[in-house]
Amino acid sequence: AEEPITIGVVYKQSGNPFFEAGVRGFDEASKELGFTFIHNGPADSSNEGQIQIIEGYIQQEVDAIAISANDAAGVVSVLQTAMDKGIKVVSWDSKVEAAGRNLNVDPSVAQNIGRVQVEEIAKQIGYEGQIAILSAAATHDNQNTWIAYMKEELEKPEYDKIELVTVVYGDDLTDKSYQEMQGLINSYPDLKGVISPTTVGVAAAAVAIKDMGMSGKIKLTGLGLPSEMADHLADGTCEAMFLWNPIDLGYAAAYASIAMVKGDITGAVGEKFDAGRLGEREIMDAGDGGTFILVGDPFRFTGENIDDWKNVY
């Protein structure tokens, strides 16, 4: 019998529920396609930890590596040695630089992610007043890209009366994010709304807003985990927030990896493959020298639909 295909899945941090959900996507795909996979992430969301894991996968002679990178540049070298050995590399959720991957599975177009959050907050505050952004760390590539697109979106005339007063960073630590949010509330008495495009930040911000008695007075949106945000959506501290579906993300990454291992695709622009229940996906130019596929647009979670999701991821 032929040996089954093995995928080595690497994510940013061990024990992070977002990636637990992502792994469920791989699980689903493996039942459909009949491959095996192993998964792991460093305890401290470090680049060095991911390299250790990748080297372990190379040692185990996996057929493909599917990675959500902590540092887009930092794993390029080791992934190149993997590719030299014939291992296919697919990045998902958080991309690897073009030189270190065969294909990127993008949750959504960065521009869209930036845009929907600005649209949402503008609508909630009535297109007028001060807003602020509570980000993760100033070093996170995807955060910075989204923030850049948000600023671009804010240039549009319909947002003329909206002022972005500051961007603060909570380092994806709950207590620091909480402190920063509290600092925002105290520093800017006229603050109307906050965008926090990070799951840790938006949850901490919601708690801070509630604790300071500002529920309803300061609007909040961002990218949040349904399980973590369930209560805040239900009681209206956060009217709506967004996130793509990590299960679909993992699922799509698994299908892409298998297609590549089987030789159905090589990762070139224009190639198409079947992504199971998600339908057909076409490979596009990512503009960074590499290619990518898109999974879907961010989903809007509100108090009405949150009950369907809060136990999912």
Partner 1 sequence: MSFLKKLVRNREAGLTLVIILLVLLVGLRNPAFASLSNLQFILGDTSIMIILALGMLCVLLVGSIDISISAIMALSAMTAGILMKNNLGLVETTTLVEGVETALAIKTSTPLIVLILLAMGVGAACGLVNGLLIAYGKVLPIVATLGLQYIIYGLSHLVSSGQAIYRKDMSESFIQFTRHNLLGFNSKVWIMLGTFLLLYFFITYLRSGRRLYAVGSNREAAQMSGIDTKRTTLMAHVIMGALAGLAGMLYASHDNKVTQDMAMGYEMYVIAACVIGGVSVTGGFGKILGVLLGALAIGVINNGLTMLRLTGNSEFWKKAIQGAVILIAVVTNVYIKRGHEKRVLRERRL
Partner 2 sequence: MVRFTDKIPAFFKRREWLLFGLIVLTFLFFNVQEPNNYTLVKLLNQTRVYMVDVGFMALGMLLVLILGDIDISVAAIAALSATVMGVTYKAGQGLPFGISIVLMLVTGVLCGLVNGLLVIRFKELFPMIITLATQTLYRGIAYIILKDQSAGSFPTWFSKDLGYGLVNIFGLDVPVMLLCLLAVFPLYHLWLHHTVSGHRYFATGTNLTASRFSGIHTDKIKLSAFMLNGLFAAIAGFFLTSRTGSVKYTIGTGFEMQAIAVAVLGGASTSGGKGSVVGLLLALVLLTALKNGLMLLYNDAFILNLSVGLLLILVVLIPNLLGMLNKYRTVRRQRLELAKT
- Give the residues lining the site for partner 2 (CB under 8 A): 14-15, 38-44, 46-49, 51-53, 55-56, 59-61, 71-78, 80-81, 137-141, 144
Cβ-based neighbours of 269, under 8 Å, separated by 6 or more:
283, 284, 285, 291
Nearer to partner 2, 53 or 265 (CB): 53
Among candidate residues 35, 32, 98, the one with its CA nearest the CA of residue 64 = 35
182 binds, among partner 2, partner 1, none (CB under 5 to 8 A by kind): partner 1
- Alpha-carbon distances, residue 91 vs 111, 152, 194, 257 (angstroms): 19, 27, 30, 9
Q: How far is 89 from 195, CA to CA, in rounded Å?
A: 33
SS3 125: helix
15: phi then psi, degrees, rounded to nearest 5: 80, 5
Residues making contact with partner 1 (CB under 8 A)? 14-15, 17, 20, 43-44, 137-138, 166, 168-169, 174-175, 178-180, 182-183, 186-187, 189, 203-204, 207, 211, 227-228, 230-232, 310
Rounded least distance, CB 204 to partner 1, Å:
7
Q: How far is 115 from 27, CA to CA, in rounded Å?
A: 32
Rounded least distance, CB 131 to partner 1, Å:
16
305 binds, among partner 2, partner 1, none (CB under 5 to 8 A by kind): none
Amino acid at residue number 78: V
Rounded least distance, CB 220 to partner 1, Å:
14
Rounded least distance, CB 44 to partner 1, Å:
8
Nearer to partner 1, 138 or 148 (CB): 138
Rounded least distance, CB 46 to partner 1, Å:
12
- For residues 64 and 5, the answer to whether their CB atoms sit within 8 Å is yes
